[in-house]
Structure 1
């Protein structure tokens, strides 16, 4: 008794189903790769290490720190520079990232009697101010999500900043920041309005220009170092005030900041800030005469602009952050989609050819 043999599939028979399967798989990948993988690259990177260097304007004026121990105060024209380095520290994970930003303001040269002199030859204290800011951010929104503390004095511990609001060092991918964004000013420990001022192309990157104005703030409410108590003669000469009379002045700070934020990635490509700090007499003294009320002693008066290298590094960081997002949300879906359609078309062709062969 003969047995009927089961039909066997040849390699040619499997070509069309394989093409259909591969085409469907590629089309599914084209639809899924962006939402599944691309969104991960939109988060703030966990390997941020950025250095920003800004030179002060030629009209910068600084209070000579060594004149604090001299008979009279002395304000000099100076060549100043601000440096900031941002690195990622713990805690950081898939959802949060902690930035540590160390910022210092130093003087390189003074102008004394019309001559440019090295800062060290005028005063050994060349660092005018320094802070270390630690803030934990949500990697998607770039807003504070956890602790925030700032160390203003190297002889004291860090100060906790409760309910910190606003952006400082980075913005979310796509710069989706709502209708009333804020900027957090570290020096005055307050959040101020962040206003959109237009757009500008910097180092080939399209940026959004934001401005943030920090109003006049008396820093003595935070820091005892922002208070000077000296004989009146140290400050100057005032009508009806004895040279030996003790006067107290407090440090006031205000600033105007311009941020140029990459429109695609939220990376700060460039930054410019005008800082105005001056000592004013406390109300108890200022109320006694108009001369005391109008008195201003410059501590820092300068505009800082990021140098060429900082702008180039900012643009490069923006491009590096955008590259994997573009690859996974644009390039890969297009490639997978084209290959998927081609595979399906090939499957249709092979299927028809098999049918035509069977009909002959």
Structure 2
């Protein structure tokens, strides 16, 4: 009886160990349905073209005292009726060299008057699970914004540079978007209406990598340009003591106006006013080369489009697929065409000059997650990894070893018990035969 108990216990323990490895752990390797995380970057010095100031032809507050940003200087008249600080009010007029009066609309300020440089910028993103989500898929909703710390009001709106609300439904294991037109991306630009969130089919990872991430390149979706591009595996490392794979993606220059226009053209018939309003911030027509600081005839009229570059680095825990750290080097600027954009961006000396004295920069922001975000995210990742390690390796190994020992013990105990029983019965039979054999002849004698 003890042998049967040990054999049964061993078989049970081995079965549980196998079930953990092949059924329980795979069931756990699904993105939780209660995702609700917030990532915030460090505040760093950057630059922003203030769209409202450009649209209103009114130099920003930070640039208002610069000579080239005063109405008199821009109109070419040194003897102006503007105030002594060089900044005229909205209703004031300036006198041109021929004696004619010109209001603010006739003054051609250089674009640098609308670019705030060396200002504190930070980004924040909240990702949460929303419907539709079920046993197989999960829908991420990510609200992301770029903010100015020096302009933040009580409601945070004053410091808003740009924002987006992104929704994508992905497989809970592979993290790949499903092949249905359910993804939406709503853009919010300062001074423009929201873009209509029309559903579309999306390709590429974004907010999470697959469980058991591999050491290879993956497709990655960029929400700023609506494009999918490879993100490359760089190598193994550790982040906060957690195993991680480093991935890096270098983008651009990408023509934002064209990429966003092509995206909406592929999913809708024509543009609604909201889409047109957003597109307007990515293309500037009717201004002169001199206003943009371009070479050649300063009076030449130019058509400028916004170009996007980004060096994105993410650190992924390979077992869980969770992103545990990240940083981006975003630079957006205006150029006449693709060739001119690439030549400008690849001119190292010119880029340093532009950084110090921007003439065509739209956004310059380089930062990574702040310490609090990293600590919270890495703690959660470690907890998930520990759970998977416990149920996927440690517990199955312990149960497996105990099961094998119990099974072997039961078999050995059973074998010994069987051998002992057979020996006892054999001895009794032999003695009986000998007794009978010996009595017969004696009786007959």
Which category describes the TM-score, using the shorter chain as reference length? 0.7 to 0.9
Aligned match of 1:90 in 117, 131, 149? 131
Alpha-carbon distance between aligned partners in 1 of 2:144 and 2:400, rounded to the nearest angstrom = 48
Deviation, structure 1 residue 268: 0.6
Alpha-carbon distance between aligned partners in 1 of 2:297 and 2:393, rounded to the nearest angstrom = 75
Alpha-carbon distance between aligned partners in 2 of 1:207 and 1:262, rounded to the nearest angstrom = 4
- Checking the alignment, whether the CA contact within 8 Å between 1:41 and 1:324 is kept in structure 2 is no
Aligned match of 2:8 in 21, 28, 36? 21
Q: Which residue of 1 aligns with 2:173?
A: 140
- Checking the alignment, whether the CA contact within 8 Å between 2:251 and 2:311 is kept in structure 1 is yes
Alpha-carbon distance between aligned partners in 2 of 1:66 and 1:119, rounded to the nearest angstrom = 16
| Bigger strand share | 1
Alpha-carbon distance between aligned partners in 2 of 1:307 and 1:102, rounded to the nearest angstrom = 18
Alpha-carbon distance between aligned partners in 2 of 1:152 and 1:85, rounded to the nearest angstrom = 15
Q: Structure 1 stretches of 5 or more lacking a match?
A: 1-13, 110-117, 287-293
3-state DSSP of counterpart to 2:310? strand
Over 3 Å counting, the alpha-carbon distance change for 1:254 and 1:348 in structure 2 is same
Instruction: For residues 115-153 of structure 1, give each alpha carbon's deviation from its aligned partner in whole angstroms, at most 9, with x where no partner exists.
Output: xxx5559x9741111011111111121111132111113
Alpha-carbon distance between aligned partners in 2 of 1:217 and 1:159, rounded to the nearest angstrom = 22
Q: Which residue of 1 aligns with 2:266?
A: none
Does 2:379 correspond to 1:319? Answer: no
Alpha-carbon distance between aligned partners in 2 of 1:262 and 1:51, rounded to the nearest angstrom = 18
- Checking the alignment, whether the CA contact within 8 Å between 1:213 and 1:256 is kept in structure 2 is yes
- Checking the alignment, whether the CA contact within 8 Å between 1:66 and 1:125 is kept in structure 2 is no
Q: Which residue of 1 aligns with 2:291?
A: 235
Instruction: For residues 300-327 of structure 1, give each alpha carbon's deviation from its aligned partner in whole angstroms, at most 9, with x where no partner exists.
Output: 1121211111212221222222233222
Q: Which residue of 2 aligns with 1:301?
A: 364
- Checking the alignment, whether the CA contact within 8 Å between 2:317 and 2:381 is kept in structure 1 is yes
3-state DSSP of counterpart to 2:234? strand
Over 3 Å counting, the alpha-carbon distance change for 1:128 and 1:191 in structure 2 is same
Instruction: For residues 269-319 of structure 1, give each alpha carbon's deviation from its aligned partner in whole angstroms, at most 9, with x where no partner exists.
Output: 111101111123479xx9xxxxxxx99511111212111112122212222
Aligned match of 2:334 in 279, 299, 318? 279
Over 3 Å counting, the alpha-carbon distance change for 1:344 and 1:124 in structure 2 is closer
Does 2:36 correspond to 1:49? Answer: yes
- Checking the alignment, whether the CA contact within 8 Å between 2:290 and 2:298 is kept in structure 1 is no
Q: Which residue of 2 aligns with 1:160?
A: 199
Deviation, structure 1 residue 53: 0.7
- Checking the alignment, whether the CA contact within 8 Å between 1:192 and 1:213 is kept in structure 2 is no
3-state DSSP of counterpart to 1:160? coil
Instruction: For residues 12-54 of structure 1, give each alpha carbon's deviation from its aligned partner in whole angstroms, at most 9, with x where no partner exists.
Output: xx33222211211211222232111111112222222121111
Alpha-carbon distance between aligned partners in 1 of 2:319 and 2:410, rounded to the nearest angstrom = 39
Aligned match of 1:150 in 169, 182, 185? 185
Aligned match of 1:170 in 208, 232, 239? 208
Alpha-carbon distance between aligned partners in 1 of 2:292 and 2:17, rounded to the nearest angstrom = 74
Instruction: For residues 165-200 of structure 1, give each alpha carbon's deviation from its aligned partner in whole angstroms, at most 9, with x where no partner exists.
Output: 2211111111037x5421111111111121122222
TM-score, with structure 1 as normaliser? 0.80
TM-score, with structure 2 as normaliser? 0.65
Alpha-carbon distance between aligned partners in 1 of 2:384 and 2:240, rounded to the nearest angstrom = 15
Alpha-carbon distance between aligned partners in 1 of 2:208 and 2:382, rounded to the nearest angstrom = 15
Alpha-carbon distance between aligned partners in 2 of 1:187 and 1:159, rounded to the nearest angstrom = 16
Does 2:313 correspond to 1:258? Answer: yes
Does 2:324 correspond to 1:269? Answer: yes
Counterparts of 1:85-124 in structure 2, within 5 Å, are 85-109=126-150, 118=151
Deviation, structure 1 residue 67: 2.5
Does 2:268 correspond to 1:212? Answer: no
- Checking the alignment, whether the CA contact within 8 Å between 1:132 and 1:150 is kept in structure 2 is yes
Alpha-carbon distance between aligned partners in 1 of 2:289 and 2:233, rounded to the nearest angstrom = 46
Over 3 Å counting, the alpha-carbon distance change for 1:89 and 1:276 in structure 2 is same
Deviation, structure 1 residue 66: 4.7
